[in-house]
């Protein structure tokens, strides 16, 4: 199936604020011993949390946020280690379990903001593009792996995803990692796609083409 890809905008951001909900802020405020969080003005919850967090040592604050967000995925020892490592390195960019890189990014950047830069900063890349079937019969409900394969020709050869997953990006191997390379995939009217990924995996400057056509295998005919 053949598609036309048109890049509309590529942004590099240091947080995705909508990731954290009102309930997240309330629950975190409770962990940081803030009284009556539920009665606070929703507009002020974020700033109240930052004030509460700043009363704690950075590593202790990191531990509490990690326990809240990843307590079911990480052991106590892992949380202890990561909470210390986060002060000297962007753990979210190199963490070996790719499914944890996105939540670790959100935790890292919340702490980075709360402590005014005491934690190393990371980034996310947001790509707005249209992906239009050249053949009207081609499906428009594309999976993350198909979207990555379609993006392949528009990325610099220096891109780490192209280098690490060359066979997968070219459709020659199974590609389960795609689910965690793309953190979020939103599709709206007129075949518009909003792709959110790690700023370490796809850098803004590595999107080097603005428009191209690409043919990929029909997903129904592929088990990759």
6-40 pLDDT tens trace: 999 999 999 999 999 999 999 999 999 999 999 99
Question: Would the pLDDT of 153 be above 70?
Answer: yes
- pLDDT score of 138: 65
Do 194 and 211 sit in the same domain of this protein?
A: yes
Please give the angle made by the CA atoms of 99, 58 and 85, to the nearest 5 degrees.
Answer: 45
Q: Of 72, 96, 114, which residue constitutes the final position of a domain?
A: 114
Q: Of 69, 92, 114, which residue constitutes the final position of a domain?
A: 114
Do 130 and 195 sit in the same domain of this protein?
A: yes
- pLDDT score of 224: 43
Average pLDDT of the chain, as a whole number: 94
Helix (H, G, I), strand (E, B) or coil at 206: helix
53-80 pLDDT tens trace: 999 999 999 999 999 999 999 999 999 9
Strand order in the sheet with 2-13: 182-188, 192-198, 124-133, 2-13, 211-215
Do 153 and 97 sit in the same domain of this protein?
A: no
90-115 pLDDT tens trace: 999 999 999 999 999 999 999 999 99
State CA 201 to chain mean position distance. 10
Domain residue limits at 80: 17-114
Domain count, the chain: 2
- pLDDT score of 223: 46
Percent of the chain topping pLDDT 70: 96
- pLDDT score of 219: 67
Confidence class for position 220, pLDDT limits 50, 70, 90: low
Q: Which among 159, 154, 206 has a CA at the least distance from the CA of 12?
A: 206
């Amino acid at each position: 199936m053949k598609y036309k890809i048109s890049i509309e905008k590529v942004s590099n951001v240091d947080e995705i604020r909508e990731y954290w909900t009102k309930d997240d802020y309330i629950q975190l405020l409770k962990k940081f011993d803030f009284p009556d969080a539920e009665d606070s003005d929703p507009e002020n919850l974020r700033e109240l949390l930052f004030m509460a967090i700043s009363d704690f040592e950075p590593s202790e604050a990191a531990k509490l946020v990690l326990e809240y967000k990843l307590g079911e995925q990480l052991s106590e020892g892992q949380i202890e280690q990561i909470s210390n490592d986060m002060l000297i390195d962007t753990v979210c960019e190199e963490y070996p379990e790719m499914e944890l890189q996105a939540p670790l990014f959100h935790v890292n950047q919340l702490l980075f903001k709360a402590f005014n830069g005491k934690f190393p900063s990371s980034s996310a890349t947001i790509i707005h593009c249209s992906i239009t079937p050249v053949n009207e019969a081609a499906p428009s409900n594309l999976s993350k792996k198909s979207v990555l394969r379609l993006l392949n020709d528009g990325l610099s050869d220096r891109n780490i995803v192209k280098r690490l997953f060359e066979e997968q990006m070219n459709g020659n191997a199974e590609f389960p990692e795609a689910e965690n390379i793309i953190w979020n995939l939103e599709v709206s009217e007129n075949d518009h796609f909003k792709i959110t990924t790690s700023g370490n995996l796809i850098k803004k400057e590595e999107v080097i083409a603005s428009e191209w056509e690409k043919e990929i295998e029909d997903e129904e005919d592929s088990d990759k």
